[in-house]
Amino acid sequence: MLARPNPIWGDWLHVQAGDMQRLLDRLLNDRDKALEVDPEHSGTPSAFVQYCRTSWLPANLGRSFYRAQAEAHAATLAFRIEHLNKDIERTAGALLDQRDAAVAEREWLMHELAQLDPNPVETD
């Protein structure tokens, strides 16, 4: 049987058949418990997400099938973070330049206003 996308991290993590069956059993069990508390509940139960984050994934990362996927995803995230940092720097840099120009113009204008005689003489 082919690996299936993980119910939470399906965009980067695929699960082997036996593991998938156990995960789906846990997911359905957590869903049923969530529905007992709130019959209107929808979406992935928070108990399942917590289980996957704190128990299932850490317990399975030592297996080469999952470790390779996690390492590849970590590299992808590093690449994404690098590009986001560059975008932030570019955007923030432009905003900082605009702010500095506004501060400089305000300081110049305030200086010019301070140079005015406090009691201007009106001429007709």
What's the CA gap between 25 and 35, in Å, rounded?
15
> pTM of the predicted model, to two decimals?
0.71
| Number of residues written out for the chain | 124
What's the CA gap between 1 and 7, in Å, rounded?
17
Q: Where are the alpha helices (DSSP H) in the chain?
A: 17-37, 46-51, 57-60, 64-114
Alpha carbon separation from 4 to 11, 38, 88 (Å, rounded): 11, 29, 35
Instruction: List per-block mean pLDDT (blocks of 10 residues) for the chain, which spans 124 residues.
Output: 90 95 97 96 96 97 96 96 91 86 92 78 56
